[in-house]
Amino acid sequence: MSLEENKATIRSFFEAVNKRNLAIIDELMAPDYFSRALQVRSGEEWKQFMTMVFNAVPDWHETIEDMIAEGDKVWVRFKIAGTHTGEYRGLAPTGKKFTITAVQIYRIVDGKMVESWGVFDNLDFYKQLGVIEYTEEAKKLFPKDVT
């Protein structure tokens, strides 16, 4: 597959997520897909995880900021935005909006995503939900971060 075809696969994946079109995932993701960031080991497990996410954050939306392709990998920096209105991993709904940054690297073979690595700013996510608060010492160390 060409670099542009690999990037198109990832764009289609992000579109599917934003449209909640999990049925198309089987066309884009290998059955044994492995997300190292989420520790999800199949396309089916990934769909189950995202169903839980959509139940917790019905307005979940991902926006691609940057995309780079090299060889069989596509690197994406993107924003995730939403409102926490349902239970998420045992956390009761907070009703708060959030926007976080994430970076994913996807490996693509024959037009399908087979594995990914990622970094999500979970600390900022939980801070925006009001779950994590700075201590007085941290407020001194990071005054620009304290709102």
Closest Cα partner for 98 from 134, 132, 60, 63? 60
* Burial state string for 109-118 with b = 16 or more CB within 10 A and e = fewer than 16: eeebbbbbee
Which residue numbers in the chain have pLDDT < 70?
Answer: 145-147
What does the domain layout of the chain look like in residue ranges?
3-133
What pTM was computed for the model?
A: 0.90
Look at residue 138 in the predicted model and tell me its pLDDT.
Answer: 81
Look at residue 139 in the predicted model and tell me its pLDDT.
Answer: 82
**C-alpha span between 115 and 58 (Å, rounded):** 26
Look at residue 147 in the predicted model and tell me its pLDDT.
Answer: 54
Look at residue 133 in the predicted model and tell me its pLDDT.
Answer: 85
DSSP SS3 for 47: helix
- CATH label, 3-133, candidates 3.10.450.50, 3.10.150.10, 3.40.50.620, 1.20.59.20: 3.10.450.50
Look at residue 64 in the predicted model and tell me its pLDDT.
Answer: 98
Closest Cα partner for 122 from 137, 132, 110? 132
Ordered DSSP codes for 75-117: EEEEEEEEE--S-BTTBPP---EEEEEEEEEEEEETTEEEEEE
